[in-house]
Chain A
Amino acid sequence: MRGNFAKITKILSAGVVAAGLLASAPAKAAEDTIKVGILHSLSGTMAISETTLKDVMLMLIDEQNAKGGLLGKKLEAVVVDPASNWPLFAEKARELISKDRVAAVFGCWTSVSRKSVLPVFSELDNILFYPVQYEGEESERNVFYTGAAPNQQAIPAVDYLMSADGGSVKRWVLEGTDYVYPRTTNKILEAYLKSKGVPAEDIMVNYTPFGFSDWQTEVSAIKKFGSAGKKTAVVSTVNGDANVPFYKELGNQGIKAEDIPVMAFSVGEEELAGLDTKPLVGHLAAWNYFESVNTPENKKFIADWHKFIKNNKRTTNDPMEAHYIGFNMWVKAVQKAGTTDPDKVIDAMVGVSVPNLTGGYSTMMPNHHITKPVLIGEIQANGQFQTVSKTPGLVMGDEWSDYLPDSKDLISDWRAPLSCGNFNVKTGKCGGKGTN
């Protein structure tokens, strides 16, 4: 008896472990559909952010099909779950391209997951749309970056804080989670601040581990740093889960936005949904989109989203807009090229221009980054952002930062005849290396 049970439980436990590795099997499709791959984690630590992006892609594909599909064919979504596991991202990407033969893939959130799929996309020559703000220092032929590069988020945010409207900040705390995006962004920001004449003793850089939850020491250090008689602000690249305890501690220790504002690059409507925002009113975030933006396109998008997800309280956020732009660009490029062949579509993508949700047009540039407006918003008591500043025009994504010594001479142009993602203008050679 005991032996039997042991066998059963053994099988059970093996099954349980295996369940984590199995992804939802792609549905058998009828011929004559165009397949679109969706590569977002639906389980594990990143599911909190990425599940929403999977949903918004399904909605966009549904809408396109309702409009009659693409090139006379219906679109079909192929959803896989890389389970927040970086090597699995590469495996799943390979499966999408070789087995399911998708025409393009929309996916990834963290930089490390993007880095892990890059070789797969260049080897099998397919297209990846990457929707999240990132550290830059990269430009690949097979990747289109629809999120913000550092100059489309970090630099304008710091400019705002330095302006009279933003409080003429003189002293800076760069607070981040310890991984590639905050470290590179802070390197760029430090160089930028120094170029603006901020002395080194007025910059404090601090890193905390992923999912950090005990912020008492850090917040009191910020308080201490801020009591030097100069206007102080915090620039936060703290990632995901660690933000909630960070803001809770700020509120509890009584750091008000009027005294020491916190400017965040990774806190959007979705993150605020888990928080009581009343003590946080006035803290800032820099994005290219806010749910509160009052344009007809955005209103329609939000209404469609609520209808699709069947929940009127679900928020929208910046990476969702990035997928909205990326998907529409892809549709337009496929129509322009008359085929879904990735090679031809990649060439057709440059120069494609589609409406964004903030009342303008975003264009795909030769460096595979897009033009976007930069918005600075203040947190409101209802969990939304109020736009307090908007760049007058569109900002073009700069993949190789001008403020880092290794990358300031590099440019990217994927049009013929240059066709190079890291061209060094000093040496005149393709194949420069940036900072990472």
Chain B
Amino acid sequence: MKIFRAIGLTLLFLLTTLSSSGAAEADLRALIAKFATAADFSETGVIVRELTATGDPAVERPLAALAEGNLYIRAADSMVFVGKEGSDSIQLFDPLSGEAAGEASADDLTQIGVNNTLRRTIRDALGTLTLGSKDPTVRIAAANTMFKTPDAANVEPLDAAIASETVASVKALLEQARGASILVSDKPDADKLAAIALIGARGDRNAVSLLTSVEANASGAVKEAATATIASINSTLAFWDAGQNIWYGISLGSVLLLAAIGLAITFGVMGVINMAHGEMVMLGAYTTFVVQQVIRTSFPGLFDWSLVIALPLAFLVAALVGLAIERGIIRFLYGRPLETLLATWGVSLILQQAVRTIFGPTNQEVGNPSWMSGSFDIGQLAITWNRLWILVFALAAFIVLLYVMKRTPWGLQMRAVTANRRMAASMGIKTPWVDALTFALGSGIAGIAGVALSQIDNVSPNLGRGYIIDSFMVVVFGGVGNLWGTLVGAFSLGIVNKFLEPYAGAVLGKIVVLVLIILFIQKRPRGLFALKGRAVEA
């Protein structure tokens, strides 16, 4: 096995430009054909291992396809093909050469099933086979795989790969993978100690994971070194954990801010207890869904732009619904908070049921554009792109809103009407229209919050329910009528919540936060940033 692999890798390094000989290819084809007769996952696994043992780089294509679930058997002649799903049929390709081999309907093909164990076997096998790839990202993936699943047999191929590696960062990863492999081999302790030092420098969870299993199986100096290294990595990781908590808190805060910022206008500035606020968020999310549906069917190329396109539309939809609610119901109820509460609660039920009737009660799929998927690392901190963009977006929405309120004539009128309605009216401001537009603005902002929240939450008729309590909490805590209060309130609640969660658990954490807010409101009934002056009493 070891010899086969070594030979295969030598072939790989020296003869990458040459194709394998005819005889070898026939052997491979015979092996691949056996997939058609494999009865269960373990038999398929045996064939995978045989294919890997040939060490021929040509097996990468069928193995990768198998791992992806793209390897098919044609019922008619039990031939094995790599398949690519088209709109109504499956295009077939030769498993070795990759040449097109016609197409077939899904009914005539049987997919070769894979499970997690098989996928892992294939991943490890591909790790060894792709060490010599021309693409550095593939080599990085190979090095990482080999680091996670160390095998004493990997030392030699890794030595060869390190010798021929030219990119410094990839070389460092390869050396760590080699270190990991040495730790599970029967090499002398001196080599193992050097390997532990090398892996300790990596300083991440994978290193801890590897060293923990080494610690359990080793003795003497190696065990001591592993224990010491784990302790030192863990103490560094504790700092990163604190940083991670802060980031999670900021991220939760940005979600709270987005959800609450519209309410800061309708409830904070206008004083309307708007229970249908969450449904405005939901309408924004459904607008995103509709936009993505249209893009999927008509303009697939624009998918990455779907959120940008959805933003103005979501604002418009939610703002128009908000305008209708204000003109139709709320304007008759100013100054009667209890009735407003009941009426808007009713509106929220009507909107939910309307959406349920139109789109059905089940979740709708809203996809992540590619620039919002995945994560990147800063040190040991994993930051997901969607959370980062939501933070940027929340802050942008806040700044725009602040600008509108403080720097535009419309914002001035809004504030004038809230401060003293009669005086504003005598100065010639059309107060009913200012009311309507303010409410529409608050609803519209909730709509664009829906676009962002559709990326991290369910798009279902119940979407808004989850945010309404939190939104009120943020606005009341921050100080009714003060946008800055909403900002500070959202982020402080987010961070406190995320610091409590690891110790108290999510359920208790939430309860503790609620109790803290109740106590705080007892002390400062007007929230963090209370408005001063007569306006408050009105």
Residues of A within 8 A of B (CB): 2, 5-6, 9-10, 12-13, 15-17, 19-20, 42-43, 45, 47-48, 51-52, 164-167, 178, 206-209, 211-214, 216-218, 220-221, 223-224, 226-230, 241, 244-245, 248-249, 251-254, 257-259, 261, 270-271, 273-276, 281-282, 284, 378, 380-381, 386, 388
Contacts and interface: CB of A to CB of B under 8 A. Distances in A.
Given A227-B209, A282-B119, A9 B343 contact: yes
Contacts of A274: 362-365, 458-460
B245 interface: yes
A211 B367 CA distance: 20
Given A213-B458, A214-B251, A274-B362, 9 more contacts: A19-B346, A43-B352, A165-B117, A166-B116, A208-B507, A227-B209, A248-B368, A270-B362, A271-B363
Given A214-B255, A227-B206, A16 B507 contact: no
A52 B362 CA distance: 9
B120 interface: yes
Contacts of A259: 148
A53 B252 CA distance: 35
A276 B368 contact: yes
B179 to A, nearest CB: 16
Given A51-B361, A165-B117, A217 B502 contact: yes
With most chain A CB atoms within 10 A of its CB, the pick from B343, B347, B350, B363 is: B363
B507 A178 contact: yes
A229 B456 contact: no
B332 A207 contact: no
Contact of B505 (A206, A213, A249): A206
Contacts of A270: 362
Nearest to B215: A229
A16 B244 CA distance: 45
Contacts of B505: 206-207
A388 B115 contact: yes
B209 A228 contact: yes
B46 interface: no
Contact of A207 (B333, B462, B507): B507
A274 B459 CA distance: 8
Contact of B208 (A5, A209, A227): A227
A273 B365 CA distance: 7
B384 interface: yes
A381 B69 CA distance: 9
B371 to A, nearest CB: 13
Contacts of B349: 16, 19-20, 43
29 contacts: A6-B332, A9-B343, A12-B346, A17-B345, A19-B350, A47-B461, A48-B363, A52-B362, A165-B42, A206-B505, A207-B507, A208-B507, A209-B507, A213-B456, A220-B244, A229-B208, A244-B363, A245-B458, A248-B368, A249-B456, A252-B373, A253-B384, A254-B374, A254-B375, A257-B116, A258-B120, A259-B148, A274-B364, A274-B458
A376 to B, nearest CB: 9
Interface string B337-348: 001001101110
A20 B117 CA distance: 50
Interface string B17-55: 000000000000000000000000110000000000000
Task: Name the 5 nearest CB pairs between A and B, nearest first.
Answer: A274-B363, A16-B346, A229-B213, A229-B212, A227-B205
Contacts of A221: 502
A2 B334 CA distance: 11
Contact of B458 (A228, A244, A276): A244
Interface residues of B, number: 73
Given A245-B458, A258-B123, A274-B362, A252 B213 contact: no
Contacts of B42: 165
A178 B504 CA distance: 14
A228 B363 contact: no
Contact of B462 (A5, A230, A241): A241
Nearest to A216: B248
Contacts of A45: 462, 465
A209 B363 contact: no
Nearest to A17: B346
B506 A216 contact: no
B116 A47 contact: no
B210 A229 contact: yes
B498 interface: yes
Nearest to A13: B343
B507 A13 contact: no
Contacts of B361: 42, 47-48, 51-52
Contacts of B191: none
A103 to B, nearest CB: 27
B80 to A, nearest CB: 18
B212 A228 contact: yes
Contacts of B113: 386, 388
Contacts of A48: 361-363, 460-462
Contacts of A165: 41-42, 115, 117
Nearest to B145: A258
A284 B119 CA distance: 14
Given A229-B210, A248-B456, A213 B375 contact: no
B466 interface: yes
B74 interface: no
A259 B216 CA distance: 20
Contacts of A2: 332
A282 B356 CA distance: 31
Contact of A212 (B115, B245, B360, B506): B506
A244 B343 contact: no
Contacts of B245: 217
Contact of B460 (A19, A241, A253): A241
A244 B462 CA distance: 13
A381 to B, nearest CB: 7
Given A217-B498, A380-B69, A207 B506 contact: yes
